[in-house]
């Protein structure tokens, strides 16, 4: 690492692309390129810091793929990274008030329901997962919503989805008015057809 004479943070004029850093970390680069990156990292704290972020994210994605059973709202940055890591993402985007035919295969790693809604001004948004009659089974309270976002990416547990029989699941996004009353932002119907063999198959 370079010794700094002043206390100012060094600004890198040629930052290494995150995808290149990821390739460097997984030893996917050709020798000359790898040596050039190594040399750069030796002298550049800023890119070194970004390499640590890339590693942390990659490990996180691997852990998540291994777990494969989390129900959570994910960011587009996460999905982009997961795709770059080679994970297979299956995504369904039913319109608000509408439905979609969906399934999951043995090769899928991540299952996403993309729920479009007008989220502007919503201070708190809850995601409710309901059965085919609309009875709430699970609620993710106060989910993260990126400012300016027009949809929410819900990750269904891939383990759960792979074991699920043919069935209908209704998702709802709700917010709250000043008085605390619940207001529907959108309702989405997932008509799931099981395509994997096993105990839950028809």
- State in angstroms the smallest separation of the CB of 83 from Zn ion: 25
Q: Which of 3, 133 has the CB closer to Zn ion?
A: 3
Residue 12 binds to Zn ion (criterion: CB under 5 A): yes
Residue 44 binds to Zn ion (criterion: CB under 5 A): yes
Residue 21 binds to Zn ion (criterion: CB under 5 A): no
Q: How many Å apart are CA 78 and CA 117, to the nearest integer?
A: 20
Q: Which long-range contacts (CB under 8 A, 24 or more apart) does 57-66 make?
A: 57/81, 58/22, 58/25, 58/26, 58/85, 61/85, 61/87, 65/109, 65/110
Q: How many Å apart are CA 145 and CA 195, to the nearest integer?
A: 32
Which residues 6+ apart lie within 8 Å of 140 measured at CB? 71, 72, 73, 126, 127, 128, 129
Q: How many Å apart are CA 192 and CA 30, to the nearest integer?
A: 44
Structure tokens at 142: 């106060």
Question: For Zn ion, which residue of 21, 22, 47, 158 counts as binding (CB under 5 A)?
Answer: 47
Q: Which stretch binds Zn ion (CB under 5 A): 11-19, 68-76, 147-155, 184-192?
A: 11-19
Helix, strand, coil percent content, the chain, rounded in steps of 5:
30, 30, 45
- State in angstroms the smallest separation of the CB of 1 from Zn ion: 12
Residue 36 binds to Zn ion (criterion: CB under 5 A): no
Q: Which stretch binds Zn ion (CB under 5 A): 10-18, 100-108, 112-120, 134-142?
A: 10-18
Residues 132-151, interacting with Zn ion (CB under 5 A)? none
Q: Which stretch binds Zn ion (CB under 5 A): 42-50, 86-94, 117-125, 180-188?
A: 42-50
Cβ atoms of 143 and 127 within 8 Å: the answer is yes
Q: Which of 16, 129 has the CB closer to Zn ion?
A: 16
- State in angstroms the smallest separation of the CB of 47 from Zn ion: 3
Give contact residues for Zn ion (rule: CB under 5 A): 12, 44, 47
């Amino acid at each position: 690492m370079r010794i700094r004479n002043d206390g100012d943070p060094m600004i890198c004029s040629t930052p290494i692309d995150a995808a290149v850093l990821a390739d460097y970390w997984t030893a996917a680069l050709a020798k000359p390129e790898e040596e050039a990156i190594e040399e750069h990292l030796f002298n550049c704290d800023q890119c070194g810091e970004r390499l640590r972020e890339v590693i942390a994210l990659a490990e996180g994605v691997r852990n998540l793929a291994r777990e494969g059973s989390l129900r959570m709202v994910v960011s587009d940055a996460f999905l982009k990274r997961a795709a770059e890591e080679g994970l297979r993402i299956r995504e369904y985007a039913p319109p608000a008030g509408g439905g979609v035919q969906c399934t999951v295969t043995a090769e899928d790693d991540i299952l996403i329901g993309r729920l479009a809604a007008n989220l502007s001004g919503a201070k708190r948004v809850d995601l409710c997962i309901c059965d085919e009659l609309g009875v709430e089974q699970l609620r993710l309270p106060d989910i993260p919503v990126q400012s300016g976002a027009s949809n929410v990416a819900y990750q269904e547990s891939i383990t759960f989805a792979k074991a699920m029989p043919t069935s209908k699941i209704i998702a709802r996004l709700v917010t709250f008015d000043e008085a605390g009353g619940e207001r529907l932002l959108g309702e989405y119907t997932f008509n799931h057809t099981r395509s994997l063999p096993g105990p839950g198959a028809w």
